[in-house]
Amino acid sequence: MGKVVEIHPTTRHEGHAKLVLKVDDEGIVEKGYYLSVTPVRGFEKFLVGKPAEFAPIAVMRFCGVCPVAHAISSVEAIEDACNITPPKDGLLLRELIGIANKMHSHPLHQFLISPDFVPEKDRVEFIKRVQKMRKIAQYIVDVVGGEGIHPPNIRIGGMAKNITESAKTKIYYKCKEYEKLAKEQIEYLVPIFESRTLTNGTELPEKLGYHDFGYIATHPTYGDRTAIDQSKVVEYTPFEFYEKDVALQASTTIPTYNGRLAEVGPRARFRKFFDFKEKGAMAINIARAYELEVLVKRAMEILDELNVNGKTLSDEPIIGDGEKAGLGVHEAARGHNTHQAAIDKRGNIVYYNAIVATTWNIPVISKAIEGSHYKFAEYVVRAYDPCISCATHMIVKDYDGRVVDEKILK
């Protein structure tokens, strides 16, 4: 007969989500639905009519984990809409702070999954290493961005300030320390992920999390709007993906690229730029570990290239034509993150939309948990490091445009 298994809330990620799993008599997932049940905040709607400069400030509040990623996507979208070209050193600093955000976020995810994979005897040393890495990364965000949580230096047209020669030197040496810690982290974690063995001795299925969908990544460490055709992106409502009783609870759209679902994130970047072909949930964790070293090496390259006396902010006016939807693309910790904005001749926002990394991954997670026993579904979810609040951008309506579940608006 089979049955429906609901896991609510799913844990050790940001935001509120649930799993609805239709399983057979053996407990194997025949249909898997992973959905956001986080209440809608309506950021895109309340941005309309506001000055363009308010957008990066507001979208940094999507959640507390990815403020840098959303600010970068936002300013890039507005610059594209207004034909603004930031100075080279402003872009270098922007890439550096985006990298530092990932250098901060990845170890946090590794800490969150440590109860699954890191034996108790190693836990203290592991957490100490994670905290050292996060402290270094947060220092870089703080210095380059002007503040650790909602960095105000990320501006339309570049970055508000350059860093000093002294700060550059200090960040470089901190990166060298991070590089050493990243190597230790890789050497410790990758064999554990490759063994697919939990701390309780349970071996995860070899094909756990396998899927045949596509991958999207535009740049190994930053983002490139020219590397994607946004006209091929289509967002569907939950009613077109989930069964109705499930769709009524969901608060994210379902995006496709060229008609297909697509995974984004560290594994997608590694597949595109580093010929990484591994499949399954553990491969995502492995790619995320390897990416630590890629990120810190690029951070040091940026510091070598940066002119601390260079101009960082364009003085071009923030004025659009009210019609062109500018596109901002950033490779966030969780993957391909896009914002679109149209700006009128007074510098106000007339259109805003964000399709963030976890919005892409939510439907892929739904499918990736099918075919394995339901008791392993949570390990697939966590491998994607979902950030649910960032992904929550819609109100559930029926086909006549009426809101069908008002409680999610309160």
16 labelled ligand-binding:
no
CA-to-CA dists, residue 373 to 168, 280, 384, angstroms: 50, 15, 18
* Conformation bin of residue 291: beta by default, left when phi > 0, alpha when psi is -120 to 50: alpha
316 labelled ligand-binding:
no
Q: Is 8 helix (H, G, I), strand (E, B) or coil?
A: coil
Largest CA distance in the chain: 70
Write the burial class of residue 165 (CB in 10 Å: 0-12 exposed, 13-18 middle, 19+ buried). Answer: exposed
Write the burial class of residue 304 (CB in 10 Å: 0-12 exposed, 13-18 middle, 19+ buried). Answer: exposed
CA distance 55 to 263: 27
387 labelled ligand-binding:
yes
30 labelled ligand-binding:
no
63 labelled ligand-binding:
yes
List % helix, strand, coil for the chain (3-state, nearest 5): 45, 20, 35
Give φ, ψ of 404 to 5 degrees: -100, -10
393 labelled ligand-binding:
yes
Which residue, chain included where needed, has tokens 């697939």?
380
Please state the residue numbers annotated as binding site for Mg(2+).
44, 393
Please state the residue numbers annotated as binding site.
44, 63, 66, 387, 390, 393
Please state the residue numbers annotated as binding site for Ni(2+).
63, 66, 387
Please state the residue numbers annotated as binding site for Fe cation.
66, 390
